[in-house]
Amino acid sequence: MTFGLIRRRPGELPVEVTGFVGRTEDVARLDTTLRNARMVTVTGPGGVGKTRIALRTAARITDRYEHGVCLVELSGLRDPELLPHTVAAALGLPEDGARFPLDAVLDHLRTRRALLILDTCEHLVDACAMLADIVLRETPGISVLATSRQPLDVAGEHTCPVAPLPVQECGGEAVELFAQRAAAVVPGFTVDDSNRADVVRLCRRLDGMPLAIELATVRLRAVPLSQLLDRIEDRFRLLTGGRRTALPRHQTLRTAIEWSHDLCTAQEQLLWARLSVFASSFDLEAAEEVCAGGGLPVEEVLPALVGLVDKSVVLRVDEHGGRYRMLDTLREFGAEHLCASGEEAALREHHCARYLSLAESFDRNFLADDQIQRYRALRREHDDLRLAVEYALAVPGKETQAAALTGALWGYWHISGLHTEGRYWYAKITDRFPGDVRQRAWALAMSSYLGAFQGDPAALDQAQECVRIADKIGDPVTAGRGRVYLNLSLTFTGRHAEAAQAAAEAQQILLSVGDTVGLVTLETQIGYMNHLMGELGSALEVCERGLARLGPDSTEGWVRGYLHYVIGVTHYRRGEHGKSAESGITALRIKHELGDGVGMGYCLELLAWLAVHDGRYEEAVRLLGAADPIWKRAGARLGGTALMEDSHLEAARKAREALGDEPFERLRALGAAQPLSEVVAHATGQVPAPVPEPRGAEPAPRRGSLTRREHEVALLAAEGLSNREIGERLVISKRTVDAHLERILAKLGISARGDIAGVLGAGQG
């Protein structure tokens, strides 16, 4: 399954950026094994090509799984307890505090047929084995494909060992790989009779290891093939004392890496070692901030980075070249050198300090106009944020730094929907600070805030303990925020009088300390509380005050979106449906831009209620259907609040009575299946809404009946691409495209591919 033709989404297979050489038998063997087994592990040493083979096979067999393929990349994960969180994120599941992340994953997968890929498991073998075992037992339609340097030893596991590429006198796949990569380095390079013997000798010396071959070809920029062969022969003679015996394959790769390392400049070697502190991808700014100093001036970081890119030690990971990463094998090598240099502690400290600075800047500027850009920048750094927290918690004396880092990330956890992960870290902070101290109080406050949105009763207790500690130690900022989140928990549990008292106390404290973030958050909550209490005029007044506090030109997304939503739902209660729609559409646009799933769910519900009032029943049911997956992932529709649930049930009842059971259920299912971006575009008027079906008419075929892959094929066919071109675009065979088109024509009720564009353009949704 691919979730988009342009931008890769969580869990989606990456596009291959270099040619795939050979491995026909490996791919076919893995394909066959996956037909007969639900648990398969691709094993082999680092650099042998396990991930490439797994992903190439997965792309080839995607159509075998009704609900597609999900890739879970684990190289940047260090804490095994966060493995279920990582899998849930790859599946696109918002976190739900009412359930453990593993339970959410299992609930999501139980009714699906899909392939789950766990890539790079060797540093988390026990955790991955336990996860795979549970998934296999609890979700009968799920198959697991793992890549690891060792088997997971799970019951029912089949292993597919991957060997290095074969080298033959006349060539072979290793020589083919060398030729392809060498041509990319030296335009016009070919393997012919004049140089084939040298290439074969070189590939044999490298034992056919793909990564070692790729590292070697880079040197052709600087030296001719004959000298390249002589130099690597010298390296191997040095290692073996002149004996011509074969080296173990892992030692062959290590020797090739060491040889490549020796060919780097001193500054490139230094940067290689220091870049190993990053858990995942990084940009130039991060490299300069963390790695500069002590023999590597900041102005020399970029030239050294370019040198490492040229030598294939560091890879660009986006088309604009703005972010970089190292393969795990090369990162491990760099980490060994960093440890040996005695610089590891200092580099870890620089790394942690960078991410603390980023988090605190995001917190200080939470209401700034560039909030969305700042949030997205943090989201790209998620693995390194985790790593920084882990480091600060692991090193004695760094607990305060860990508390500051997690404390500054409260808004990040909330916007990204990572409520459970945020509370996981806050629990570790409260464990480290058992007394009546600010660090404990702040962690309790933020855990309460995240937990309230998850409907966790413990959120109320945490807010109360926070307030007690903050009052005792005389910390007005924490005391004010604690009461803000106490108000939220009490509101969600229907204790409105107590919630109003907490709000009044919070407002007084927040005004005294000038906490604008706390004040505008509180005003949003008070508006929602007043709306639930029926004090509609007061609800509008407090929300307008919140918008005024943000400023008329504010482009902040999180609070502003919710303020517009509360205004919209309050106008709905007052019967002012035009004003309600205007505010609801504004809120939905803001929440969609930010990527706030739960916020979009609230907005879609409101717009559905308005559509029912206007008699637009088909549109209403589609909107209710689009919200269904959001609520399923969140754990409770509309927070479980009685008044809101009653409004939902009343709207659904009226639409069902107007349409009938069968059309209602069908339209609701179509809404749930439609891409959320299209739903938002229709709901906000960016594109025309689907044309309602004539009552009593035979329902027209709809794109919603197509699978996601069929939809992609249909779109490309509508653009006029041939079946072969479609296959190349989607990395599938022409025969697979042929089969897809046969099903597409049948489902759409047409006989020619030339009619696809007309059907898709006729309001399919």
Q: Please indicate whether residue 200 or residue 734 has the higher confidence score (pLDDT).
A: 200
Q: Please indicate whether residue 727 or residue 26 has the higher confidence score (pLDDT).
A: 26
Mean pLDDT over 172-188 rounds to 86
CB atoms within 10 A of CB 187: 6
State yes or no: pLDDT of 226 exceeds 90. Answer: no
Output the pLDDT for position 242.
41
Give a yes or no: residue 474 inside a domain.
no
State yes or no: pLDDT of 320 exceeds 70. Answer: no
- Which regions of 15-141 does DSSP assign to beta strands (E)? 39-43, 69-73, 114-119
Give a yes or no: residue 520 inside a domain.
no
* Mean pLDDT for all residues in the chain: 85
Rounded to 5 degrees, φ, ψ at 437 are: -130, 160
557 burial via Cβ count (<10 Å: 0-12, 13-18, 19+): buried
CA 649 vs. chain centroid, Å, equals 33
And the tokens for 715?
Answer: 């779109």
Give a yes or no: residue 719 inside a domain.
yes
Residues 607 and 672 in one domain: yes
State yes or no: pLDDT of 312 exceeds 80. Answer: no
Q: Please indicate whether residue 33 or residue 692 has the higher confidence score (pLDDT).
A: 33
State yes or no: pLDDT of 669 exceeds 60. Answer: yes
Confidence band, pLDDT 50/70/90 cuts, at residue 749 = low
Mean pLDDT over 556-572 rounds to 94
Output the pLDDT for position 144.
97
Q: Please indicate whether residue 28 or residue 746 has the higher confidence score (pLDDT).
A: 28
Confidence band, pLDDT 50/70/90 cuts, at residue 329 = confident
pLDDT digits (tens, 9 = 90+) for 239-249: 444 444 444 54
Output the pLDDT for position 701.
40
State yes or no: pLDDT of 515 exceeds 90. Answer: yes
Confidence band, pLDDT 50/70/90 cuts, at residue 7 = very low
Output the pLDDT for position 691.
47
Biggest distance spanned by C-alpha atoms of the chain: 90
φ/ψ bin of 639: left (φ > 0), alpha (ψ from -120 to 50), beta (otherwise): left
Residues 396 and 275 in one domain: no
pLDDT digits (tens, 9 = 90+) for 27-81: 999 999 999 999 999 988 778 888 889 998 998 888 899 888 999 999 888 889 9
Last residue of a domain, one of 206, 228, 262: 262
Confidence band, pLDDT 50/70/90 cuts, at residue 297 = very high
Could you tell me what percent of the chain has a pLDDT over 90? 50
Output the pLDDT for position 662.
92
Could you tell me what percent of the chain has a pLDDT over 70? 86
Residues 285 and 225 in one domain: no
CA distance 363 to 345: 27
Whether residue 326 contacts residue 338, with contact meaning beta carbons closer than 8 Å, is answered with: no
State yes or no: pLDDT of 306 exceeds 50. Answer: yes
State yes or no: pLDDT of 739 exceeds 90. Answer: no
CA distance 338 to 270: 8
**Cα Rg, the chain, nearest whole Å:** 29
Output the pLDDT for position 206.
78
Mean pLDDT over 437-464 rounds to 92
**Distinct helix (H) and strand (E) counts, the chain:** 37, 8
State yes or no: pLDDT of 652 exceeds 60. Answer: yes
Give a yes or no: residue 540 inside a domain.
no
For residue 325, the cross-strand partners are: 315
Hey, is 78 helix, strand or coil?
A: coil
Output the pLDDT for position 351.
96
Output the pLDDT for position 607.
97
CA distance 451 to 466: 14
Last residue of a domain, one of 279, 312, 342: 342
Confidence band, pLDDT 50/70/90 cuts, at residue 595 = confident
Q: Which residues contact 595 (CB under 8 A, 6 or more apart)?
A: 415
Output the pLDDT for position 47.
80
State yes or no: pLDDT of 94 exceeds 70. Answer: no
SS (H, E, C) 256-288: HHHHHHHCCCHHHHHHHHHHCCCCCCEEHHHHH
State yes or no: pLDDT of 161 exceeds 60. Answer: yes
State yes or no: pLDDT of 731 exceeds 80. Answer: no
Domain holding 733, by residue range, is 703-760
Residues 32 and 147 in one domain: yes
Mean pLDDT over 9-16 rounds to 63
Residues 103 and 156 in one domain: yes
State yes or no: pLDDT of 98 exceeds 60. Answer: no
Highest mean pLDDT among 183-187, 190-194, 376-380, 400-404: 400-404
State yes or no: pLDDT of 505 exceeds 90. Answer: yes
CA distance 107 to 85: 14
Q: Which residues contact 361 (CB under 8 A, 6 or more apart)?
A: 374
CA distance 425 to 420: 9
State yes or no: pLDDT of 252 exceeds 80. Answer: no
Highest mean pLDDT among 127-141, 317-331, 722-736, 750-764: 127-141
Question: Among the listed ranges 3-7, 539-543, 630-634, 719-723, which one has the minimum average pLDDT value?
Answer: 3-7
Output the pLDDT for position 302.
94
Q: Please indicate whether residue 469 or residue 15 has the higher confidence score (pLDDT).
A: 469
Output the pLDDT for position 149.
83
Output the pLDDT for position 16.
59
Give a yes or no: residue 539 inside a domain.
no
State yes or no: pLDDT of 123 exceeds 70. Answer: yes
Residues 183 and 293 in one domain: no
Last residue of a domain, one of 238, 262, 286: 262
Of the candidates 557, 536, 560, 535, the residue with the CA atom closest to the CA atom of residue 546: 560
Mean pLDDT over 351-379 rounds to 92
CA distance 14 to 59: 10
Give a yes or no: residue 451 inside a domain.
no
Mean pLDDT over 614-637 rounds to 86
Find the CATH number of the domain harbouring 578.
1.25.40
As for how many domains the chain has, the answer is 6
Q: Which residues contact 167 (CB under 8 A, 6 or more apart)?
A: 174, 175, 200, 203, 204, 208
CA distance 479 to 257: 55
CA angle 157, 158, 161 (to 5 degrees): 130
Confidence band, pLDDT 50/70/90 cuts, at residue 363 = very high
Half-sphere exposure of 160 (CA within 13 A, CB side): 27
Find the CATH number of the domain harbouring 287.
1.10.10.10
Give a yes or no: residue 513 inside a domain.
no
Q: Which residues contact 416 (CB under 8 A, 6 or more apart)?
A: 375, 379, 382
Residues 624 and 741 in one domain: no
Of the candidates 412, 423, 452, 398, the residue with the CA atom closest to the CA atom of residue 635: 452
CA distance 483 to 504: 9
Residues 50 and 145 in one domain: yes
Confidence band, pLDDT 50/70/90 cuts, at residue 751 = low
Question: Among the listed ranges 16-25, 305-314, 388-397, which one has the minimum average pLDDT value?
Answer: 16-25
Confidence band, pLDDT 50/70/90 cuts, at residue 6 = very low
Residues 575 and 659 in one domain: yes
Give a yes or no: residue 367 inside a domain.
yes
Residues 573 and 667 in one domain: yes
Whether residue 683 contacts residue 623, with contact meaning beta carbons closer than 8 Å, is answered with: yes
Mean pLDDT over 435-444 rounds to 97
Residues 103 and 225 in one domain: no
Residues 32 and 116 in one domain: yes
State yes or no: pLDDT of 598 exceeds 60. Answer: yes
Mean pLDDT over 168-174 rounds to 80
Mean pLDDT over 165-189 rounds to 84
